[in-house]
Amino acid sequence: MNNLVPPFFFIFFFFSLVLSAQNPAAVPAALEGSWKGSLQMHGSELPLVIHIKKGKTGAMSALLDSPLQGAFGLDGGFVTASGDSFLIRVKSVRGTLLFHFDSINDELQGSWQQGAARLPITLQRLPEGERGIPNRPQEPDTPLPYIAKEVTFRNETAGITLSGTLTLPDSGGPFPAVVLVSGSGPQDRDESLFGHKPFYVLSDFLTRNGIAVLRYDDRGTGKSEGFFPMATTADFAEDARAAHAFLQRQPQIIKNCTGIIGHSEGGIAAPMVSTYDTSIDFLVLIAAPAIPPDSLIIVQAGLIARKAGQDEHLIALNRTLLQEVFHALKTAQSEGKDLTEMRKAVSKVFDNLTQAEKDSLGLNEESLVNQVQYFISPWMRYAVELNPSEFLTKLKVPVLAIYGGKDLQVPHSYNVELMKTFLRQSAAPDYRVEVLPGLNHLMQSAETGLPGEYAEIEETMAPEVMELISNWILLHCKK
């Protein structure tokens, strides 16, 4: 799923820094300008851009952009100096950039610290006027050739209001219609991640081809109400049900041709809601897991690590640790243990590691607390008991399932045959399962399939994926 795999090897190393701030005006004028670098972490690359500007008093202030996370203009306060080093604190994300200025090569060399992480980074000066924003050629230019309007709808079960965008072709109608349901992790209505907006691009393509689309901010994200950290896949299915109900109430919609497109974890939520909401007419599942989430986490962690060139001994150690953690959690739940006892059971697995094993996995006191908390979260406690077969075998609507041949997060080799088996066992009137060679988890044309490539690829979603989805929906809505 999008963010399903936990941080590999349970990182990070703890680092603490005490630096006395001096007069901001002591920062050299040569630092003024925009600087770009990238954080490297387990095969992934996260660009950062720092903008340093001199104020009227002569003091230097800083702003930070994280383009792939859609974060721009984060306040870094004043640049402060200590000896030949400089410091920028971004309080909103609890991050700190400590660096020195290499005037010969005209670059900033240092480290980015956030929580327990300390990652080296070198930033080079950007040409004047350049902001380091990645090129995304598939994102549509405005004005859009169709109707796009801000909407809200209620999930009465949860007592929250969700916000989204409804796009409608500007002429004709009524239209077939779909709801887009995102993958794991808090996503906005565009499913923004790694500098891409997959749902924005997909909704644009579908709407231009005569299909109405509703996409919405996950609960607790963007303009939607709710508290994301306490939500489970079942809660996201309820949000999708509320979105679909709202869509069906729109006068421009064909009432017997409305469906859900679910990506990754959304590909579990969509079949889940379809088993109890008979008003859903079809499903499109993109990189949808057919194996249980706990098994998938183990599989994807190993595949990504191996592809990134990690040591086989550490891969095996991490796999064993995950297996033992999931076993402890499931056992505690089956025995009716409360949250305190679950925490003890999961903590015991980590306590049984030798110091050498903890060191090799990058575990320390702070990261151990974070990992235990992750595994006893409501989402994870629900996920370890979840089996997609429970819902896939009960489907009674047409299904299109699409997988990428280079997807390392929901690999087709572990999921496609199971998906076919479950759909054969279901009452689905027809289904189609496609593996598209060369595509990764985001349905981009990829080289390796590693998550580190997602941001580097300019393509947001392969055209053949969008064409397949559009043609399939329009075909079924003619029946």
Contact status, residue 209 vs residue 279, Cβ threshold 8 Å: no
Contact status, residue 224 vs residue 217, Cβ threshold 8 Å: yes
Specify burial of residue 109 (Cβ count, 10 A radius: 0-12, 13-18, 19+).
Answer: middle
Indicate whether 25 pLDDT > 70.
Answer: no
Indicate whether 346 pLDDT > 80.
Answer: yes
pLDDT at position 26 is 66
pLDDT band at 438 (very low <50, low <70, confident <90, very high): very high
Query: pTM for the full model?
Result: 0.82
Indicate whether 51 pLDDT > 60.
Answer: yes
CATH number of 8-125: 2.40.128
Mean pLDDT of the 144-171 span: 97
Mean pLDDT of the 98-121 span: 87
CATH number of 146-292+386-476: 3.40.50.1820
Q: Which two tokens stand for residue 167?
A: 């796009």
**C-alpha 77, offset from chain centre:** 29
pLDDT at position 479 is 53
Which stretch of DSSP H or E encloses residue 451? helix 451-454
Specify burial of residue 150 (Cβ count, 10 A radius: 0-12, 13-18, 19+).
Answer: exposed
**C-alpha 152, offset from chain centre:** 23
Contact status, residue 71 vs residue 137, Cβ threshold 8 Å: no
List residues bridging with 48 in a β-sheet.
37
Better-predicted residue by pLDDT, 12 or 341: 341
Which stretch of DSSP H or E encloses residue 53? strand 44-54
pLDDT at position 1 is 56
Rounded distance, CA 136 to CA 455, Å?
10
Beta strands 212-216 and 60-66, pairing class: unpaired
Mean pLDDT of the chain: 89
Q: What are phi and psi of 177, to 5 degrees?
A: -150, 150
C-alpha angle 432-436-442 in degrees, rounded to nearest 5: 105
Rounded distance, CA 58 to CA 74, Å?
21
pLDDT at position 21 is 33
CATH 2.40.128 in the chain, residues? 8-125
CATH 3.40.50.1820 in the chain, residues? 146-292+386-476
Q: Is the peptide bond before 174 cis (omega within 30 degrees of 0)?
A: yes
Amino acid, res. 61: S
Indicate whether 15 pLDDT > 90.
Answer: no
Mean pLDDT of the 379-383 span: 96
Q: Is the dihedral of CA 242, 243, 248, 249 positive or negative?
A: positive
